[in-house]
Amino acid sequence: MRLNLTCRLVGAALLALATGHALAQDAKVADELAKYREALADGNPADLLEVRGEGLWQEKRGPKNASLEQCDFGLGPGKLEGAYAQLPRYFKDTGRVMDVESRLVHCMMTLQGFTFEQATKNWYSKPGTESDIEALVTFIGAKSNGVKINVPATHPEEAKMAKMGEYIFYRRSGPQDFSCAICHGQDGKRIRLQELGNLTTQAGAGEAMKTWPSYRVSQGTVWTMQRRLIDCMRQARWPEPKYLSDSVIALETFLQKTASGTVMATPGIKR
Amino acid sequence: MKLKFALFGALTATIASAALAQSSEPPGGKYAKEAEQMFRNSFREDNPKYWMRRLDQDETMKLCSQYRDNPPRKIGARIEQMNRESIRYPVDGKLIGDWKEGEKLAAVGTGGHIGFIQPDPAGRVRGGNCYACHQLAKAEVAYGTIGPSLQHFGKLRGNSEEIVKYTYDKIYNSNAFTACTNMPRFGLHNWLTPEQITHIVAFLVDPESPVNKD
């Protein structure tokens, strides 16, 4: 896995060089590359996170002193191979369409006895505060590497969620008139120097979704898809959605459905 | 012969209406109403009310969302008319300001971010963020491509009264010319003041501005 990550890092650096125009020496690009190299030299922190996630998965914790090993992500209790790739999906026991994070929190509550507040308190890391959810999602995501994203959304509740995600994707509002489609609805565009894929096509959505969760060099940590989308809503100048809210799960369902067929390769490496 | 034509006509009409139905289904389909409700309920309860107002949609936003930013011509024309009527001018009537001020405003991409995780600090300058989407001065290479290049805008278009007014109007309300464009409506939302817009106009049309000089 380490080798794999290293290859991808070097690949990203080379790609940045190759696609950079005559002004590749541009300070910003050089800065990015320096950061990549730095990440390489220290080893990728996402590796450590994955290992920590595996530990958390097996560790007996919480008021019920239980591990998460019986958690069911839709393929059966404890079956993690390929689980991330088929999420979000409808779960009979909760009657809801859930993504990897909402399901994980569900298991922390039902199996380990944590309250919702306890389970989600550090859903993303801050300098000096680690996030168990980030570590667990990194571990669970890697268990789908090499597996095709497969969210056909055939269950009526899933189909509905995908449609609702589509609605939000095109919904414009806020002081900049933004929607997701403004930044992610066309091929080959970029905002400043950041490449923006076309998330409405299988190729574009696949290219993006297969890499999440992703290690973000600029943030020094792994971001989950919830974190990614909540930040995109911030960029849209909207108020802040609740963690695990249906809107975010609906967008994920829409995007994973569009991306279906693409082979997962996590954790990705991002700016 | 006659029959053949009639058949052909009927066939093309069917194909056309099928294609139309396909592309004109509003996002969300039959769940659009429910999706709107769900969207509204997805935000933290402690978002202040005045933040939540940012989710309200005016008629332009509603129509653009419904048509995936590609409205039929007639509706597009109505949107453009509506937005033209919103344009306001500086009290002194002068539409060209100081290009140096405009240069700064065009580069600033911060401002207006809210929420609890990473909001902009109070009083953070709000800029036009033009480089997010446009190439402008040659020296700035970190430009986006969502909009067309505006390098040499004044050199190519001149700075006649007509061009100056067009440039001001476009920045004030982009939808006055292009319904459902990806470009924000800076004046309409009071994101930029009329005076700030005149500075950006100068940055675009002044022959001395780096947009035109280099």
Contact state of A189 with B144 under an 8 Å Cβ cutoff: yes
Q: Residue A34 has what pLDDT?
A: 63
Contact state of B145 with A170 under an 8 Å Cβ cutoff: no
Residue among A213, A190, A204 at smallest CA distance from A264: A213
User: Which residues on chain A are in Cβ contact (under 8 Å) with B33?
Assistant: none
* C-beta neighbour count of A63 within 10 angstroms: 10
Comparing A21 with A115, the larger pLDDT belongs to: A115
pLDDT in tens, A48-77: 899 999 999 999 999 999 999 999 999 999
What is the least distance, in Å, from the CA of B29 to any CA of chain A? 7
The domain A46-270: what is its CATH number?
A: 1.10.760.10
pLDDT in tens, B185-196: 999 999 999 999
Contact state of A185 with B69 under an 8 Å Cβ cutoff: yes
Using CA coordinates, name the residue in chain B closest to A241. B43
Q: Point out the residues of A that are catalytic.
A: 232
Task: Decide if B214 contacts B139 (C-beta within 8 A).
Answer: yes
The overall average pLDDT reported for chain B is 91
pTM for this predicted structure: 0.90
AA identity, residue B130: C
Assess whether pLDDT exceeds 60 at residue B94: yes
pLDDT in tens, B30-73: 999 999 999 999 999 999 999 999 999 999 999 999 999 999 99
Question: What was the ipTM of the complex prediction?
Answer: 0.89
Lowest mean pLDDT among A9-13, B79-83, B114-118: A9-13
Assess whether pLDDT exceeds 60 at residue B143: yes
Q: E strands within A31-160?
A: 89-91, 96-98
Q: What angle do CA A164, A168, A173 make, to 5 degrees?
A: 150
Helix (H, G, I), strand (E, B) or coil at A41: helix
Helix (H, G, I), strand (E, B) or coil at B186: coil
pLDDT in tens, A81-134: 999 999 999 999 999 999 999 999 999 999 999 999 999 999 999 999 999 999
Domain boundaries, chain A: 1-40, 46-270
Number of inter-chain CB pairs under 8 A, A vs B: 151
* C-beta neighbour count of A106 within 10 angstroms: 21
Domain boundaries, chain B: 2-84, 99-213
Residues in chain A: 271
Residue among A270, A122, A155, A139 at smallest CA distance from A209: A270
User: Which residues on chain A are in Cβ contact (under 8 Å) with B49?
Assistant: none
Question: Which of these CATH numbers, 3.20.20.70, 1.10.760.10, 3.40.50.2300, 3.30.1280.10, describes B99-213?
Answer: 1.10.760.10
Q: Residue B177 has what pLDDT?
A: 98
